Structure 1
């Protein structure tokens, strides 16, 4: 694959991250990393998301050392418990029930790598859910949205009706703190 001299690669299969980068008109290529996401509950949420993002960036950057490679990962944290993607309907129901009527935090870690230069950072947003009925939770699960999202919800589609308020960057919840990422790319001399 022939790459431009200053080429950007998104090491993620997330359609949301892809769309966010497309929205700001930065040319890039998607090359999905094959990293297995494992939640290490001994790490803080901040360290965990940056570690997972770095693993994803490293997996692709090793093959394309002259490109700028972005890895990213998102988790939800509530009362010290970290929530990844649910494996089934019951896990989705349990997570959404836990988040119902309360506040939690969403962390998105980002790692940009070019050659041996590594820049890892994260965004954090606080999200408050409405109190949800059992029926509301089950209806949302039936949309299928919860199954590829940390904490079992996405804020940008049907899951938007679950959210009462947020404090912080909306795009961190979607999966990529866009403005922070652009600023960090500029620090690394990527022309935008």
Structure 2
């Protein structure tokens, strides 16, 4: 379901994998950013991965990337940030700027708490995680960080290439499809039924909203 022809998060993760260094350090926020990284980024060469996979902390990708880059300013560090996670720690963009750490922040901007959205829908509940995001690239630019916003799938690869080749810190804000579904490795009938019920409720609610306007 991608009627608006938004950028697919899978495509973003795959382009990052293809263009990132073979000794890059990756970090990922807990949630859908981790799902796309785990499925499309290969830990080849001397690549390393940091995350919060036991504790499930939110907003960990950027601070972990800052720490890794402090240890080695010459090594490429790429943070897979969810928009919800990034929003929680926007103040650390100032740390990034002040310390001039050349971290590349890749923001999966689906205007949702994506993992929570899927969990709600699997339980038969209509989604309730819509975020009122700013233009994160503009926020970064205002702080003196290179900000790149991508809304057109045709511009995706060149934008990632530009982000990686630009000296210093970069925030790459990519508007991705909020309705992209990460199917579990072993989906159950109950999950499928709950998802179907949730989608019916979302459609009915959408039609009701249209009627009120």
Instruction: Sort the TM-score into its range (normalised by shorter chain).
Output: 0.3 to 0.5
TM-score by length of 2: 0.33
**Greater strand proportion:** 1
- The structure whose residues are more often helix, as a share, is 2
With the length of structure 1 as denominator, give the TM-score of the two structures. 0.36
**Greater C-alpha radius of gyration:** 2
